[in-house]
Structures are given as structure tokens and as C-alpha cells.
Amino acid sequence: MPHRADLSPANLLVALQSHLWFASCPTAFQLALVEHSRIRQLKQGETLFASGDAHDGLYCVVAGALKVGSVDPRDGSQRLTLYAEPYQWLGEIALIDRQPRSQNAVADMDSTVLMVSRASIEAWLEAHPENWRDLARLACGKLRVMLSNVEDQATLPFEQQIARRLLFAATNFGQSTQTMVRRRVRLPQEYLAKMLGVSRQTVNKALRALERDRLLALHYAEIEITDMAGLVERAGHIDPALRVAALTQPTRPDQR
């Protein structure tokens, strides 16, 4: 990605194209998203948006990471839906249906996001209505992943669920180009537990089993995938695009 000093919207265009959804959009729409955006810096723990907020635009993480989730009203516990890293887009659902935000997005570390303001991009889309379909594709892609996760939790052994979640993280849910597939995933076990609705001990037991099979290595707050092909096999049937992305490994094992 560009050096932090070069984090202007115009300088981010090539990096943004490492996300397959963005790269698949018409060039005019790509340029519009960049031209109608600004950079926003977040400190660790700072909220980008909260459940119930009015929709204010579309975002893309360009550095750092965001925890996206909600609070269980019964006991106040945190539920984690998505761990958003570069170059994941979010906020499109509220932009499409104009309803308030349904979840919270909080910086897990000092982070940088690209913010495309609602007013400016809506005006552009009104003049180019064919590109609403591209936003719908972004939302539908996430819906497919969410439905797959629900089915996984209902039908698959837990170890297989973990394998699939790690592949999602390594490939940006199958949206990474080959240069951005990662073998080192910053996904603490506590976060995996919150995503899957289980205890951290349950997650650790499954990860240790995968480590014994030499599919991965556990580090502090990070998981290294040491055998990507083996992890794909352990995950079982997955979307063909996700399989292709996972098996197209970067040249450096520590590439992030």
C-alpha cells in the first residue's frame, strides 16, 4: 500500500484495485468514489459509526482494522460480525436503503479509512443510476458470506468452521487479488470466539488441532497459515472464487 505520507485518495487508486469488487466496477465509478472521498484518521478505540446513527456514506479501510458488530442487549457482551482490514468496503447497506446504521464500527488500532460522503456520491449516482447495481453487488457479496456462515454453524464440525473463517480472513472474503492474499492473519482468538459465538477455550482447542496437523502456527494475536492448500482441503467445499484466491499465495509468507 502507499506510504502513510502518500495516503491521499488519488494515490490510493491502485491499492484500492486490489479488492476485486472495486476492480470490477466501471472505471468511471472507481474514479467517482475516489474523487468524492476524503481521508479520515481514527485512534484505537474510536468509533467510526454506531448503531442507530444516520447513514453518512461509504467507507473503505486503507490502514489498520475495524471491529464491526453489536452489543447483546441481554448482558452487554460484544458480538463481532466482521473484522474489516485493508481494503474492505463497508456502509453500503445504509447507503442503499437509507436506514440508520445497524451495527457499530470501532477502530481496533490506529486506523485510516477512506470516506465517500453520502451527499456527493448519491448526487453522482442519480446522474449515473446504472452504478447502483455495483453497490448492490457489494451488499450481495456480503449477504452470501453471512448466509454461508449461518449454514456452516448449523452443519459443520467446529474445526472446519475455523478453517473456513481463516480462509475468509486471509483472502478478504475471496475479494483479494493474488498480491494481497495473506498467510499471516491478525485475528485474536477472542475475536474468533465472538464471531462464532463460542468460548475462547473452544477456539483455542480447534486451532491447536490445526497446528498439530501443521496447517498453521499460533503467534500472539496472530495466526500464520503454514499450509494453505491443506487448510483449503480441511475447509471442505468453498466458493470457487475463494478457493482460487486462497491457493494463489503471495511471494512472501509474511505479506500482509
What is the tens place of the pLDDT at every residue in 96-146? 999 999 899 999 999 999 999 999 899 999 999 999 999 999 999 888 888
Of 118, 145, 172, which residue is a domain's last?
145
Asked if 7 and 130 sit in the same domain, the reply is yes
Does residue 183 share a domain with residue 136? no
24 shares its domain with 139: yes
Q: What is the pTM (predicted TM-score) of this model? A: 0.83
Residues in Cβ contact with 107 at an 8 Å cutoff, skipping those fewer than 6 apart:
42, 43, 44, 45, 46, 47, 48, 64, 65, 66, 67
Residue 253, pLDDT > 50, answer no
> How many domains is the chain partitioned into structurally?
2
Residue 178 lies inside a defined structural domain of this protein: yes
Percent of the chain topping pLDDT 70? 86
Whether 79 has a pLDDT exceeding 90, the answer reads no
> Cell 483472502, residue?
171
Are residues 179 and 63 both part of a single domain?
Answer: no
Query: Does 232 lie in the same domain as 125?
Result: no
Give the domain extent around 5. Answer: 1-145
Query: Domain with 184 in it: what CATH number?
Result: 1.10.10.10
> Does 187 lie in the same domain as 125?
no
Find, among 241, 223, 88, 109, the residue nearest to 166 by Cα.
Answer: 223
**pLDDT grade for 149, boundaries at 50, 70 and 90:** confident
Of 47-51, 64-68, 123-127, 177-181, the one with minimum mean pLDDT is 177-181
Q: Report the relative pairing of strands 222-225 and 104-107 from DSSP bridges.
A: unpaired
End residue of a domain, out of 96, 115, 145:
145
- pLDDT of residue 251 exceeding 50, the answer is no
Contact assessment for residue 211 and residue 218, using Cβ atoms and an 8 Å cutoff = yes
CA-CA distance, 128 to 137, in Å (whole number)? Answer: 16
The predicted model gives 27-44 an average pLDDT of 94
